[in-house]
Amino acid sequence: MDALLGEPWMLSPSVALRPEPFGALAYHFGNRKLTFLKRPELVAVVRGLAEAADVRSALEAAGVPASQHSAYAAALRGLAETDMIRRRGGEQEQVA
């Protein structure tokens, strides 16, 4: 089981999401990274992270089937590596 699924995350305060037909563009004003979120479901997950108790809850709220949770967790890890999302509750931690 992926530990990330049970952790609380949020969109980084330095990131703006711009809706696009394919999903969204995420721009980080601090590190100037631009990321394409190519699935509307992933956009819904990222937007819902702050309100959800944990990643799993955000995935469920966005209608992502449990069979796809590990794939979404991998995508979220990639977003965390560039500080598009960050763990809630204090200092930022790097994900492995």
Going from N- to C-terminal start, the domains of the chain cover: 3-87
pLDDT, tens digit, for every residue of 31-78? 999 999 999 999 999 999 999 999 999 999 999 999 999 999 999 999
Cα separation, 48 vs 93, whole angstroms? 20
pTM: 0.88
Class of domain 3-87: alpha beta
Following DSSP, what letter does each residue of 16-85 receive, concatenated? EEEEETTEEEEEETTT--EEEE--HHHHHHHHHTTTSSSHHHHHHHTT--GGGHHHHHHHHHHHHHTTSE
In three-state secondary structure terms, 89 is: coil
Joined tokens for residue 8:
């609380």
